[in-house]
Amino acid sequence: MRDQDTHLKALRQSASILSVIAIFVVIYFARDLILPVMLGFLIAMTLSPIARASFRVGVPSGLTAGALTLATGCGIVSIIYLAGGTVAAWVEDAPNIGRELEIKLRGLSDAFEAVQEASEEVERLGKDTGGENTGEKQQVVVEQPGLLTSAVTGFASSATTIAVALILAFFLLASGELFYTKLVQSFSSMKDKKRALSVVYGIQRRVSRYLLTITVINAVLGLAIGTTLWFLGLENAVIWGIAAFLLNYLPFIGGVIGTLLVGAHAIITFNSVAYALLAPFSYQALTTLEGQFLTPYFVGRQLELNTVSVFLAVVVWTWLWGVSGALLAVPFLLVFKAVADEFETLKPVGNFLSR
C-alpha cells in the first residue's frame, strides 16, 4: 500500500512538471494570441476603478469605457507621433551613426588596434592556406531583410496588438459589473462567492495602483531627464524624455539601455567626448535616484515583492516574449501573488514572492 502511494505521488509530481512545461510551450508559441488578450485585461484592470467611480455617479458604463480607451489610444498615438519620425530616421541612418560613433571613439581604442590587426592577419593567412589546399570556394550569401524593413514589420505587429488590446479593454470596461455578477453566479456556496470576489478585487486593486503609480513616476522621470538633456544642449531632448518614460517600465534593464543610447547619441552630437559623457551620467543619476528613493517610497507597499522574484520574472518573461514580456513581467507577477495569497495551497509560494 505504501509503495502504491509513493508511486501515485511520483506520478502526480511528473504530471505537474509536464503541465508546467506544456504551459510554457503554449505561452511561447501562442504569443501573438495571448499577448493582446493579457494586455487588454491589464488595461481594463488599471482603468476599472475610474470606470466604477463614474458608474456610481450615474455616468453610463459605455460612455466611460469609450472615453477611457480613447484617451489611452490618443496617448499612445501622441507618443508615436512625437517620436516616430525621429526614431525612423535614426533606424534608417543606423550604419552612418555607427561609423560616426566609431570615429569619435577611435582615440579611446588605439590600444586595441594592434591586437585587432594581428587577429585579422592570422585570419587572412588561414584563408590563404585553405585556398592552396582545397582550391577556390564559392560562397553563397543570403540577403537579410533591411533594418528599416524589420522595424516597419515590428511596428505593424505592435500596432495590431495595441488595437486588439484597446478594443478588448473597451468591452471589458463597458460591461460594468456584469463580469462580477457572472463570477458570483458561477459558484454555489457563499464562501466561494466571497473568495472569488476577494481574489478579483485584490488583483484589480494591486495591479491598478501599481500601474497608475508607476506611470506617474515614469512621467516625472521622463520630464526630468528631457529637461536635463535640454539644458546640456543635446538634440531631440523631448524624444529622450519620452524614451526614458517608456524604458523605465523595464525593471533593471530599462535604465541601462537608456543610458547607453543617450551616451552614444551625445558622443555623436558633441565635439568633446568628456562633455558628452555628462548626458549619460545625468541619465543614470536620475534613474538611480528614482529607483532607490522615489519608486520604493510610493510603490513599496503596493508591490510587496522581493527583488529576486521580480528579477527572475523579468528574465523568464523576456526569454519568452522579449521586450513585451519584460514590460508585463511585474504585472503578471502581481496577479499571480494576489491569487496565491487567497488560497491555502499556494500561500507558501506567495510568501516566497513577498519581501
The percent of residues above 70 in pLDDT, for the chain, comes to: 77
pLDDT of residue 147: 47
Which cell numbers hold the place of 25? 510551450
Residue 147 C-beta-side C-alpha neighbours within 13 Å = 10
> What pTM value is reported for the model?
0.73
Is 314 a domain residue? no
pLDDT of residue 142: 47
pLDDT of residue 313: 85
Is 248 a domain residue? no
The answer for residues whose C-beta is within 8 angstroms of residue 169's C-beta and 6 or more apart is 40, 41, 43, 44, 47, 65, 69, 72
pLDDT of residue 192: 76
pLDDT tens by residue, 274-300: 888 899 999 999 999 988 888 777 776
DSSP assignment letter at 344:
G
Please name the amino acid found at residue 115.
V
pLDDT of residue 111: 47
Residue 106 C-beta-side C-alpha neighbours within 13 Å = 6
Domain hosting 101: range is: 32-110+146-176
Is 86 a domain residue? yes
Is 204 a domain residue? no
- Structural domains counted in the chain: 1
pLDDT of residue 230: 93
Please name the amino acid found at residue 254.
G
Low-confidence ranges of the chain (pLDDT < 70): 1-5, 83-94, 96-97, 100-101, 104-156, 300-304
Is 27 a domain residue? no
Is 221 a domain residue? no
Whether the Cβ atoms of residue 203 and residue 215 lie closer than 8 Å to each other: no
Is 324 a domain residue? no
Is 172 a domain residue? yes
Which cell numbers hold the place of 319? 526569454
Smallest CA-to-CA distance from 244 within 275, 191, 288, 212 is with: 288
